[in-house]
Structure 1
């Protein structure tokens, strides 16, 4: 029995390739702690290393190139440290680096054919791309067919499929096109299909029993940074823990997100004089302070399921 327990723990090991900041919580800084709290070992490769997120308007740092990524993976491979249950990718800023990720997926699946690849295809939001346009065909034609789970926002899903989403039926058609490319689970982490009070997230899976689900997410009166990275890491964890129960995973992910954002906003307001705007520093995600909510989320919002 102890051996079986040890094996189960060993197989919850994530290689996460995304951005890193020295101060604050985006990219790997946003994903690592929640995954660790939920019982996952996480090895992080930082696609960029910045002093802080770019929303501050000023930052300094370095960008990892494709050769450096390959070197890191080769080092892991040489020492037989490349057995992972999951690969998680987020922000990647160059086409050459993203092309190298294709090779990383192939290498890791040679070691573990059952590797689950969770991809957040970071392309842009609100009608604007904030990565080079050359990344789009690589995501669309090479990355998405290799991914088990993807978490695009509405704009990214539209870019990846060439379809506009104006209603839920459009979203379902868009999601089915992504399934047709080979991706088993598609979650639109946010869409414009809700209301002034709620966002609408949509999720679809063709693993086992086909399922399509929607969930209404209460809006907060502020924008936060790092939420997409947090969402993808939580979904990865709960899909593994629940053995791909999409409904439960979605509900627990959203419950955690709501708790973290509520705590973050409360802290920001407590640090801000009345009538003043909350600073970006005071809206950094309060992840450490949300450890209990990450470990044991209490869903209050139920996902609506349609088969």
Structure 2
């Protein structure tokens, strides 16, 4: 397989978020990854201290120009995550448009990282950019509940609300939408988060086919950073191998994540000892140690077709 991904998202020196969280799993699963770092920080912002730089639109333009001048701007996928600057995001849209002209089969996977738990952690002027410019060119979208609500202006309180939001997001452009980590009423009890996925496909005869799935993921009593970036990269990989089977792709992506998180929690508790809360350093994803689970995940999270 010869498959190349342009990944534009954050970079940390220590730990696993953004490109650090996405590149290794994609490489393990057979993809070449060209990474542009939207920020370069010492560590993620959940630590007491964080230092670093933010990529400017001029710097992004310079990097992309170098790739173009060498005539190596040929990609099968674009993956984007955390971005702090609306002009950088606007240029990302231009880059995706240019790459899609060169390769009409290019797939753009967008994790619209804006916030969580009711609060935005990027400038508010990124919301209209995502809603009006990014969504129309995105093929796969992976918002959390809060981001889906921001993008559609609709609150999600029930599964019915979430399905209506999925339809609204489809109508803005993406063929595949997965709503992650929703704290909704679960058939298995309140110890599970709900993930809903929807894939709309235009069949050769011009008609539409729709696959919708529901998954329940065990809650973990800890705050992890980088799991959304990991999920987006795994979903990219497994939808490549299962292009018309969102159920199989999501089961493999979420099962691999489950193994990584479980291994991370085991390590954190071993380091901190009984009865103590792990700190952000203890909870950095055990990515390298989970190599085998990323490459060939035992299915422990199963999807129900709705």
The TM-score range, normalised by the shorter chain, is: over 0.9
The partner residue of 2:76 within 75, 85, 91 is: 85
Describe the SS at the equivalent of 2:305.
Answer: strand
User: Quick one: distance in 2 between partners of 1:202 and 1:298?
Assistant: 21
**Other-structure match for 2:213:** 213
Structure 1 segment 18-37 matched on structure 2, within 5 A: 18-37=9-28
Residue 276 of structure 1 deviates from its aligned partner by 2.1
> Post-superposition, which runs of at least 4 consecutive aligned residues in structure 1 deviate over 4 A?
none
Note if 1:197 corresponds to 2:191: yes
Contact conserved, 1:38 with 1:295, CA < 8 A, in 2? yes
Q: Is 1:14–2:13 an aligned residue pair? A: no
1:234, CA displacement in angstroms?
A: 0.3
Q: Is 2:108 aligned against 1:117?
A: yes
When normalised by structure 2's length, the TM-score is 0.95
Higher helix share: 1
Q: How far, CA to CA, are the matches of 2:139 and 2:50 in structure 1?
A: 34
Indicate the SS of the match to 1:281. Answer: coil
Give the equivalent residue in structure 2 for 1:66: 57
User: CA separation in 1, counterparts of 2:211 and 2:273?
Assistant: 47
Match status 1:222 vs 2:225: no
Q: How far did residue 280 of structure 1 move? A: 1.2
Asked if the contact 1:82–1:111 (Cα under 8 Å) also holds between the matched residues in 2, the reply is no
The whole-number CA distance in structure 2 between the counterparts of 1:221 and 1:56 is 18
Q: CA RMSD in A?
A: 1.0
- Count the aligned residue pairs: 297
Aligned to 1:4: none
1:70-126 per-residue CA deviation (whole Å, 9 max, x = no partner) reads 111111111111111000000000111111111111121122111100000001000
Q: What is the deviation of 1:273?
A: 2.6
Equivalent position to 1:52, from 43, 46, 51: 43
Paired residues for 1:63-212 under 5 Å: 63-193=54-184, 194=186, 195-208=189-202, 209-212=209-212
Partner Cα separation in structure 1 for residue 96 and residue 220 of structure 2: 36
What's 1:6 paired with? none
Please state whether the residue corresponding to 1:237 is helix, strand or coil. Answer: helix
Deviation of 1:279 (Å) = 1.9
Distance 1:53 1:25 in 2: 8
CA offset digits 1:184-236 (Å, max 9, x no partner): 00000111214531000000010243111110001111111100000000000
Greater alpha carbon shift after TM alignment, 74-83 vs 146-155: 74-83
Who is 2:206 aligned against? none
Structure 1: where are the runs of 5+ without partners?
A: 1-8
- 2:241 is matched with 241
Q: Distance between the aligned counterparts of 2:196 and 2:176, measured in 1?
A: 11
Deviation at 1:130, TM superposition (A): 0.7
Q: In the TM superposition, what whole-angstrom CA distance separates every residue of 1:38-57 from its partner, at most 9, and x where no partner exists?
A: 00000100000000000002
TM-score (norm 1): 0.95
